[in-house]
Amino acid sequence: MTRTAVLVKPDGLQRGLIGEIVSRFERKGLKLVGLKMVAMTDRQLSDWYQEHKDKSFFGDLKSFMGSMPIVAMVWQGLDAVTVVRKLVGTTLGREAEAGSIRGDFGMSQQYNLIHASANEDDAKREVAIVFGKDEIFDYSGAMECVIYADYERGEK
């Protein structure tokens, strides 16, 4: 099982979409192992968006993301990064696939509701920026036996 980071951005918070977003991941069969509302610091935002530091929109991005609290989550499951990215949809909301979070609720590129880790390395880095080790929980979910086959869970 792998883990991935998800942020509900300020626009998602303002629009009251947290429950909808959590519900979609849960219905897919992913397990929520970390959750908190946080006001990200300038340092956290610089670390989070380090790949954009030389781009013209970096300042606006940090300003937007720091304008109010965000909801940070860690999701776990088989191929969690890939599964979450499919559920989230492409960056530009108005072109995102119908049925995806951005496809159903987004129109903008910047105000696109949600961030999802791009790959497993980014996921590990991003989780560490927002969560302490004591804020990630490992537990057995009651539904895992009907979501994954024994061999997918590493059993038998």
Nearest Cα to Cα of residue 106 among 17, 42, 3: 17
Integer Cα distance of 6 and 131 in angstroms: 12
Q: How far is CA 98 from the centre of its chain?
A: 19
Q: Is residue 108 within 8 Å of 3, Cβ to Cβ?
A: no
Catalytic residue among 30, 96, 115, 131: 115
Helix (H, G, I), strand (E, B) or coil at 73: strand
Integer Cα distance of 62 and 76 in angstroms: 27
52 is a catalytic site residue: no
Q: φ and ψ at 73, to 5 degrees?
A: -140, 155
Nearest Cα to Cα of residue 40 among 86, 84, 71, 75: 71
User: Which positions are annotated as active-site residues?
Assistant: 115
